Structure 1
Amino acid sequence: MRLNLNDLHVFVRAVDHGSFAAAARHLGLPKSTVSKRVAELEAGLGTRLIHRTSRSFVLTDAGRDFYDHARAAVIEAEAAESVIQRRQAEPQGLVRITASVPVAQFQLADRLPALAGAYPKLDLQLHVTDRFVDLVREGFDIAIRSHFAPLPDSDLVQRRMNVEGITLVAAPGYLSRRDIPERPEDIAGHDGLLTGPASRTWRLTSRDGREVHVAPEARLVADESLVLLRAAAAGLGIACLPGSMAASFIETGELARVLPDWTAGSVTSTILTPHRRGQLPAVRAVIDFLAGGTGAPGTARRAAP
Structure 2
Amino acid sequence: MTDRLAGISAFVQAAEAGSFALAAERLHLTRSAVGKSIARLEERMGTRLFLRTTRRQTLTADGQALYDHCVRALAELDAGEAALSAARVSPQGRLHVSAPVLFGRRCVAPVLLELASRYPKLELQMSFTDRVVDLVNENIDLVLRSGSLRQAPADLVARKLGEQTMTLCASPAYLARHGTPQTVAELAGHHGVLYAAGRREAVWPLTDHTASMRTIAIKPRLRFDDLETIVAAVKAGAGLARLPCWLVADDVRGGSLVRVLADTPGPRIDIHLAWRRTRHLPTRVRVAIDMLAERLPPILAKGSRGAQL
- Aligned residue pair count: 222
The answer as to 2:144 corresponding to 1:144 is: yes
Residues 293 and 132 (structure 1), Cα distance of their counterparts in 2 relative to 1, 3 Å cut: closer
The answer as to 2:194 corresponding to 1:194 is: yes
Give unmatched runs, 5+ long, in structure 1: 1-23, 37-82, 295-305
State whether residues 161 and 269 of structure 1, in contact with CA within 8 Å, keep that contact through their aligned partners in structure 2: yes
Aligned to 2:253: 251
Partner Cα separation in structure 2 for residue 106 and residue 257 of structure 1 = 21
Partner Cα separation in structure 1 for residue 241 and residue 152 of structure 2 = 32
State whether residues 169 and 258 of structure 1, in contact with CA within 8 Å, keep that contact through their aligned partners in structure 2: yes
Residues 84 and 239 (structure 1), Cα distance of their counterparts in 2 relative to 1, 3 Å cut: closer
> Counterparts in 2 of 1:141-290, with a 5 A limit?
141-147=141-147, 149-154=148-153, 155-196=155-196, 198-205=200-207, 209-276=211-278, 279-290=281-292
State whether residues 141 and 277 of structure 1, in contact with CA within 8 Å, keep that contact through their aligned partners in structure 2: no
State whether residues 156 and 274 of structure 2, in contact with CA within 8 Å, keep that contact through their aligned partners in structure 1: yes
State whether residues 164 and 269 of structure 2, in contact with CA within 8 Å, keep that contact through their aligned partners in structure 1: yes
Partner Cα separation in structure 2 for residue 264 and residue 231 of structure 1 = 24
Root-mean-square deviation (CA, aligned residues, Å) is 3.5
State whether residues 157 and 274 of structure 1, in contact with CA within 8 Å, keep that contact through their aligned partners in structure 2: yes
Q: State the structure with more CA Rg.
A: 1
Partner Cα separation in structure 1 for residue 104 and residue 188 of structure 2 = 33
Residues 269 and 280 (structure 1), Cα distance of their counterparts in 2 relative to 1, 3 Å cut: same
Deviation at 1:202, TM superposition (A): 1.8
TM-score in terms of structure 2 length: 0.61
TM-score in terms of structure 1 length: 0.61
Aligned to 1:110: 110
Fraction of identical pairs, as percent: 31
State whether residues 213 and 266 of structure 2, in contact with CA within 8 Å, keep that contact through their aligned partners in structure 1: no
Residues 283 and 277 (structure 1), Cα distance of their counterparts in 2 relative to 1, 3 Å cut: farther
- The amino acid that maps onto 1:168 is L
Aligned to 1:73: none
Residues 119 and 171 (structure 1), Cα distance of their counterparts in 2 relative to 1, 3 Å cut: farther
- The amino acid that maps onto 2:222 is L
Deviation at 1:217, TM superposition (A): 2.0
Give unmatched runs, 5+ long, in structure 2: 1-23, 36-81, 297-309
